[in-house]
Each structure stands twice: as structure tokens, then as C-alpha cells.
Chain A
């Protein structure tokens, strides 16, 4: 069934869009990533103009994140105070990010910057996470060594300590606020929610338990992507509501399935799967940059009415 999208001005198969939304929703529910890093390239591939894909992707991520957060909320795996601290940092970060993005757009080559940051960040995060979770998986199989529960780093000596009961942490608010700021900044430049950076940062930098990380990450993604959606709608008129609706229908169902799957997998397995997905996407974008394209020329419609 073909459907004509009023803002994108293309006609696409409705079931294809439902499917894309569904796949991204499953990942979102499983890993606590918004799926922006996946949905944007997928929409390009279908033939949606990039501006519309980025903006509408953000809108879809809002829906799947809300769906995911509610599922996690009922299982008490959302650390609300932590989410708010991250969010506060994230808002400042994305404000800075949008500012820098606009400067770079005036200089040209913003596409390249986005692609390169995808490759670098997805690649680094993917490799680190893959190594770590593989080690954890192997350790779980072998004879169990005693694991040190509380590693005291410099992070723990900072002032402004706060209790995060759901995460079982008593740490300063500075590290999560800084993490939020950095992620918000990158997210604005790359046009994604930033879950794939946020999730490992929460696990490895803040030492939060994986199960809490997912819900908390989704919680703050709602606000970051919601902000992005409204920004795009008011500046570029590039949010396609019909496209969003179809992606959302697929996405919310997928998110529920994803949450259900996620709760049945071990934390290490979950992390290794996310690492693989991240690496595949990074690899695909890297190949696009490295291999000679079949068509060297590309066209873009400059001024849409």
C-alpha cells in the first residue's frame, strides 16, 4: 500500500515504514537507545530527503522512548533523580551543539562532519562495549572470581554528593551533569538522541547497573528529541507527521516487544548485541566514505517552497 507523504513529497510503501519503525522500536526497548542512529540512515535508504529524515526520526524516537520509559517505570528501573541531572546537562549541551552545528553549516561540509562523527563515536563505543561485554560473558562462564563492588576513583571524591537510590549510587552530581552535557552536544551535532553514547557512559563512567541505565537513558532521550523535533518543525518545516505516525505505530509496538526481550536476556548479552548493532552501522557508514561511489554526483533541491 503506497502512501504519499505531504512534507517529504514522496510516495512510499506504508508497510515498509511500519517495519522500519518496528525494528527501531525493538532496539529502543531492548537497549534504551532511541534508535536515531539507525532510523535516519534507514530513511535515507528508502528515499526520504535527509532533512525530513532527521527531523521526523527525532519525532519517532520521542514516541518509542515514551513507550519504553513507561514499561521500565512500572518495573521501577528508571532512576528519576539521575535522569533529571543528566537532562539538565543535556539541555545545555544540545543548546551549544545546535549553535556549533549552525556555524559548521555556514562553512559547508556539515554532512561530512556528521558522517565522520558517526563513524568515530559509533566505532569507538561499539568496540569498547564489545570487548568489555565479551570479557564479562567469558568470565561468567569460567570460574567466578570475586568482583570488587565499589571501585573508588577520583570521580567519587567530587563535592555535591547525592543519593541515587534506584542505581544504588552515592556520587557527586558533577559527573552525570558533565556526561549529559557532552552527550547533548554530540546528539545535537549528529541529530540523534544520543542513547548509544549515554548508555555506555552511564555503565562505565558512572557505574550504574545496566537494567537501570536503559530506563533512565530513555527518560532523558524523550526530552532531548522532543526539543529537537520542535526546533526542526519551526526552523526547517521538515517534520512529516504522516511519516512519523507510521514509524510511531511500528515503533511503539516494537518498543514493547524490545522491553520484553531485554528483560529476558543477561546484561552482558544485551550489551554485546548493542555493540554489534552499533558496529554494523558504523561499518556501513565507514564503507560509504571509503569505497568509490557508483555515482560521483548527487543532487539536492535547494529551496523548497
Chain B
């Protein structure tokens, strides 16, 4: 019986082993974001504290790292090349899963906060978060494998770098080093702004405590982002009753055209 417990303890992931030392408790300013017709982005405040059963351990300071990850989507990255005098899409790779939104905030430069191995293990930064995952889609865990696409390694890396570059420029992928306020190695807070061009789904927020690049504890909180009201209604109608939706759009157009024409005529008289 005792042996079974020891084996169980060894089999558990790293955070569980250090569980008694330092744990993270955190909350979000909101766990629901409603996309209404005039939605133009939203701010999420992540706040929390470190709970200790013992004095602060000696050595490197404790660091906090927070990630907010939007729903994954399959993405195709294409590259243009000069062919027959014009620029055309020639090569492409399919990335089976890329987050639609990904923000990382830390208390210090990312290399200091988390080691490369831990980064890969927990898929913390964007390059690690992109790419195929375990067949059941579970998260986190497992090293990032190469996306399928057939291209050789360097080629694939170039495409992934382009994906990262374009999404970062569009404000979909963000990295804020020193984006977390951390006081007395105990209290922390960080603010994330979700963009207006938000995709529906679960936005997974992970709060990591690290020391010496090693993850000490992780806490996962979900934010659910949903369309509501008119947005919800239109979206559902479009997908569930496509013919009715199409005809309704058409009727709307015909009616608007007729209405404008009639109005203008009365106006003139």
C-alpha cells in the first residue's frame, strides 16, 4: 500500500511534488465575455497570490507567468513566389492547430522565467503552442511535434515564423515581459486586453509560478467568450437554417431597395 503511494507520487507531474511549498491562488475579473453588436474588445484582470506553508525558499526569486489562449483553429499558411511574371501562391503548409489568440505576460524576460524544457513541456510560448497536439487534443503536455505538410524542417520553420509574425502584427499574439505586477513575492496582478476581433470559445488562462526556470505550480481558469443577443441569433440561424437565412437576407435586400426607392420618390413630391 505504501509502495503504491510512492509510485503514485512519482508518477504525478512536477507541480504536484512541490505542492506543499508554494501554491498559486488566483481569480479573474470576469469569467464570461459577451460579444454584443457593439463589442469592441474587453479587459480581463488576472489577480492572485502565492500561498505558502513554509518560509520563502532560498535561491532564485519566484516568478509569475500568465498565458491567455483563445480557441485553436486549423490554419493554412501560403507563400507567394514569382512565376511567369506575376506573384502567385505556390507553397503552403497546413497547421492543424494554431491559437486564434495568445497572450503571454511575465514578471521578467521570458528566458529567465521559464527554461526551454519546461516551456516545451507546458507549451507556454506561442511557437510551442502552435502545431499538432496529442490525438485527444489535451493540453498542456507533450512536446510540440512538427506540423504535417511534407516540407522539410527549415521550410516548415520559415512558414511557422511567418505565421507568428503576421499574427503578432495583427495583435493576435502578444508577449508582455514585465506585464505582471508582483509584490512582495506574494501578490500579483496583470491586465489583458482582448481584441475586438474575437473568436467565440473558451479562453484558457494559465497562471504559472516558476523558480529557476522550473514550474512550481500551475492554475488553469477558463473564460468563456460567447456571442449574445442579435449576434447569437444571426449566427445560429445562418448555420442551422441556411436556406431560410439566405432567403431572409435576400428579402431584406429587396425590401431595403424598394423602401429607399419609394422614400426618395415621396421625398421629391
Contacts and interface: CB of A to CB of B under 8 A. Distances in A.
B76 A302 contact: yes
B258 A9 contact: no
A71 interface: yes
Given A4-B231, A62-B253, A237-B242, A302 B74 contact: yes
Contacts of B250: 59, 62, 226, 229-230
B243 A10 contact: no
A237 B166 CA distance: 26
Interface residues of A, number: 63
Contacts of B167: 299
Contact of A252 (B74, B94, B247, B260): B260
A290 B245 CA distance: 39
11 contacts: A11-B196, A60-B253, A62-B257, A63-B254, A112-B89, A233-B246, A234-B246, A237-B239, A245-B256, A296-B162, A301-B75
Given A2-B40, A297-B77, A230 B246 contact: yes
Interface size class of B (residues with CB under 8 A): 35 or more
A4 B225 CA distance: 14
Given A7-B235, A297-B166, A298-B78, A234 B243 contact: yes
Given A2-B40, A66-B258, A239-B246, A297 B162 contact: yes
Interface stretch (B31-39, B117-125, B184-192): B31-39
A9 B246 contact: no
B35 to A, nearest CB: 6
A67 interface: yes
A70 B258 contact: yes
Most buried by B among A11, A109, A232: A11
Nearest to A73: B261
Given A237-B239, A241-B238, 13 more contacts: A4-B40, A6-B235, A66-B258, A112-B89, A231-B246, A234-B243, A241-B248, A244-B249, A244-B253, A249-B256, A297-B78, A299-B75, A299-B163
B77 A299 contact: yes
Contact of A66 (B82, B162, B253): B253
